Amino acid sequence: MLYRLLLAPLFVLLAACQSTPELDYDTTRDFAAYRTWSWQEPAVRYHPEQSPLNSDLTEQRIREAVAQQLEQRGLRQASGAQADLRVQAWFSVERRQDSYTTYYGGMFMGYPGGWWGGPSYAQTNTYDYRVGILQVDLIDGRDGRLVWRASDEQVVPRRQSPSERAELARETAARVLGQYPPRAR
């Protein structure tokens, strides 16, 4: 029973950690003119550099997820340096902590003969978790200026299979690049 009580707030927290992507872009650019893209090397950068997820496998998953999303948005990968856009992704992992308090007992009620109640107590639980943040930058291939940037964060579960990690990368990249091309506001 206590096990179920502890899991409920964790599920609420995990759902709350799925955020709306942050977006910034150059409003003077014509995004319909961009048709091709290539990677800006290094294609994936990490912050901090010693991130526990910094690996060739993570980079491969992020590259594939971002490439798939750009393809779905009508951008084609260029083989040479003449791409309209250069793409660079940033991946960072932050450790965060959250706590919640559960109150038990202490119910006091009035009735015609007086008041009655019982003792109450509070239990506070604290837990640590990791949040992965994916940021994608689109840089104009002609003038080298940043024209579009979006980022999103997701709780990174402690134990994942390789297929679960790939799916997490695809989901996060889809949320980030779901903002491209920017819609007029």
DSSP string spanning 32-91?
Answer: GG--EEEEEEEEEEEESTT-TT-SHHHHHHHHHHHHHHHHHTT-EE-SSS--SEEEEEEE
In a domain, 120, yes or no: yes
Q: Which of 180, 61, 81 is nearest to 132 (CA)?
A: 61
Q: Find the CATH number of the domain harbouring 94.
A: 3.30.160
Contact of 36 with 83, CB cutoff 8 Å: yes
In a domain, 108, yes or no: yes
In a domain, 116, yes or no: yes
Q: Where in the sequence is the domain holding 60, given as residue range(s)?
A: 47-177
CA angle 144, 145, 146 (to 5 degrees): 125
| Global model pTM greater than 0.85 | no
In a domain, 2, yes or no: no
In a domain, 27, yes or no: no
Give residue-wise pLDDT tens across range 92-111: 988 899 999 988 876 666 66
Instruction: Return mean pLDDT, the chain.
Output: 84
In a domain, 91, yes or no: yes
Indicate the number of domains in the chain: 1
Cα-based torsion angle of the residue sequence 74, 61, 153, 124 in order, rounded to the nearest 10 degrees: 150
The residue behind tokens 């340096």 is 81
Contact of 176 with 168, CB cutoff 8 Å: no
The residue behind tokens 């319909």 is 32
Give residue-wise pLDDT tens across range 175-185: 999 989 988 65
